[in-house]
Amino acid sequence: MKNINVLVLSCLVFLFSCNRDMEFVKVTDDEGNLLEKFSINKETQQKDGVYYRYFPNKSLEEVANYKNDVLDGQRVLFFKNGDTMTIETYKNDLFEGIYKTFHKNKTIESIGMYVNNQISGIWKFYYDNGQLKEQVTFSNNNENGPFIEYYKNGNLKAKGNYKTNKINEDTDQKEHGIIEMYDEHGDLEKKMECNFGRCKTIWTRE
């Protein structure tokens, strides 16, 4: 493993030395501890390439990719113990593509997509035991479409739809249509009929 690390480091040094337009920068605190390291374009003085940021305990806090001084590509944030906390994807400093977060026990917490810097499509959220907690449909940053929720034991908790409602320049998302609610055993408990968040019970088990 040490030989491989030396080889990788040698390759990086070679690449930087061959690219005379780039300069490798290290930022340290008063005690000499490494805080950041990245490459910049000598002419523009803008970040270009892989960027690293470190916790005071010297563990990696962030690794990201820059192009012309803005985020472009994948950005990963870490917990202090080195485990992955968040994975983001950027295009020209805007969210574009996959987005993931993780619990401290390494299980996934959420996963979804950004399109043109807006939350879109189906997003999934999980309990720390790996069980699906909620699945929601988004459009233009708003909950708009089917949703389904689960208890931590895996049983169905609720299902229905959200609908986006525009009032003047404001946008709101509310429950709309038939909403079903379940108890922790997964048995249907009641049904509600909703009109943009104004719900009335139309059936109960009792």
CATH (domain of 149):
2.20.110
As a whole number of Å, the end-to-end CA separation of the chain is: 66
Residue 16 counted as domain residue: no
Residue type at 122 in one-letter notation: I
What is the amino acid identity at position 36?
Answer: E
Q: What is the pLDDT of residue 97?
A: 98
Question: For the chain, how many structural domains are there in total?
Answer: 1
| Any domain includes 50 | no
Tell me, yes or no, whether 154 lies in a domain: yes
Asked if 65 and 49 count as a contact pair (C-beta separation under 8 A), the reply is yes
The predicted structure's pLDDT at residue 170 = 65
Residue 72 maps to a domain: no
| Structural domain that includes position 133 | 96-204
Report if residue 30 sits inside a domain. no
Q: Indicate whether 57 belongs to any domain.
A: no
The closest alpha carbon to 92, from 113, 119, 73, 75, belongs to 73
Evaluate whether residue 137 is within a structural domain: yes
What is the pTM assigned to this prediction? 0.85
Please report the DSSP string for 13-39 in residue order. HHHHHH-TTEEEEEEE-TT--EEEEEE
- Residue bearing the bigger pLDDT, 16 or 123: 123
In this prediction, residues 146-170 reach a mean pLDDT of: 89
